[in-house]
Each structure stands twice: as structure tokens, then as C-alpha cells.
């Protein structure tokens, strides 16, 4: 993976559930924290035309445009118990589409020796006034490409998941 940024996440006592580990819902908050940090990270030497080194992806959005989460996929690999030391979110961009883009993320030890969860989040650029998707500009694409890396290596990919669906027919 090329261009992930790493963000420390402090495990709070309130993150722990009755089973003694970080609740699965809290991982969504960890992913949100990582996304917000990445979109506010200065582009530096990767700033494209019309953007300076202090520019961020977030600053490339006009007042009528915002991002919405369209999809999350999370694979939980190891539980996180309460601890004073932070865990780390490693976040990068895995895909840039017409009006959408995907983030890949791991929640792990600083050195990556233990990965607690890995996730993918699909984002869509949307117009506040129309509620419709908006195409990414060249500057926005250039900014996202700063963090472009590999797909998340989920253990169960869509082909394997599709084989499960017929087995569940009539159950739900």
C-alpha cells in the first residue's frame, strides 16, 4: 500500500461494551475520525493546479457540495480491549469514480503487527440544493489520487459472498 496516512485513536472507556471490548458500532466512529482527518490533511507537494500546499480535499468542496457515506464494509479481525495506548487508523483511497470514491482503512497497532479491523467506505459527492450526485472536479480527483492505494484485502470477497445468498433463500 502506498500512501496511507496514520491517525492515532484513543480507546475510551465508553467504547467498551458488556463483552469487555470495543463495540462494533464504535469502529464506525473510528472510521469517521480517520476520514475527517484525511480530508483535512494538507496536500503539500501533491497539490494540483489551483491548489496550494496548505490546501485540503475539504477546501476543494464549494458551499453547495458535501460528501455522504454510501456504504461501509467492515471485517473484524481481533477484539480491542480497554487500554491506555492508542490504536491507529491507517486510511487511503482505493477507488476514484465519477462522483464517488472509496476509502480503505485498517485499525491496527502502530507497526501494523496486529490488525483489529479492516474496512472500506464508499463516499458520494452530493449537491445540497438538488440532493443529486455531483461529478468530482479535476482538482478533487488530483487531491484524492494523493492517497491512492490498493484495495482492502478482505478475506471474503463478493464472489464468495454471492455463494452464501442461495443458501439463505427462504430463511429471511
Q: Which domains does the chain have, with CATH numbers?
A: 5-168 (3.10.129.10)
Q: pLDDT digit string (tens) for 93-103?
A: 999 999 999 99
The string of DSSP letters for 45-85 reads: GG--TT--TT--TGGGS-TTEEEEEEEEEEEE-S-----SS
* 125/102 Cα distance (integer angstroms): 11
Q: pLDDT digit string (tens) for 2-12?
A: 478 999 999 99
* 57/140 Cα distance (integer angstroms): 6
What mean pLDDT, rounded, does the chain reach? 90
pLDDT of 119 strictly over 80: yes
167 pLDDT tier (thresholds 50, 70, 90):
very low
Of all residues in the chain, the percent with pLDDT exceeding 90 is 79
pLDDT of 64 strictly over 50: yes
Amino acid at each position: 500500500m502506498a500512501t496511507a496516512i496514520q491517525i492515532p485513536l484513543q480507546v475510551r472507556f465508553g467504547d467498551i461494551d458488556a463483552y469487555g471490548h470495543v463495540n462494533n458500532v464504535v469502529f464506525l466512529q473510528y472510521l469517521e475520525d480517520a476520514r475527517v482527518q484525511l480530508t483535512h490533511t494538507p496536500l503539500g507537494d501533491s497539490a494540483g493546479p489551483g491548489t496550494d500546499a496548505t490546501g485540503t480535499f475539504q477546501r476543494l468542496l464549494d458551499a453547495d457540495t458535501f460528501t455522504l457515506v454510501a456504504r461501509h464494509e467492515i471485517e473484524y479481525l481481533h477484539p480491542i480491549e480497554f487500554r491506555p495506548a492508542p490504536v491507529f487508523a491507517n486510511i487511503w483511497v482505493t477507488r476514484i469514480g465519477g462522483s464517488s470514491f472509496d476509502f480503505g482503512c485498517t485499525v491496527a497497532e502502530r507497526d501494523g503487527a496486529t490488525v483489529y479491523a479492516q474496512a472500506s467506505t464508499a463516499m458520494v459527492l452530493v449537491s445540497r440544493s438538488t440532493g443529486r450526485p455531483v461529478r468530482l472536479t479535476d482538482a478533487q480527483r488530483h487531491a484524492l489520487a494523493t492517497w491512492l492505494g490498493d484495495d482492502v484485502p478482505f478475506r471474503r470477497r463478493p464472489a464468495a459472498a454471492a455463494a452464501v445468498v442461495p443458501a439463505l433463500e427462504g430463511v429471511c
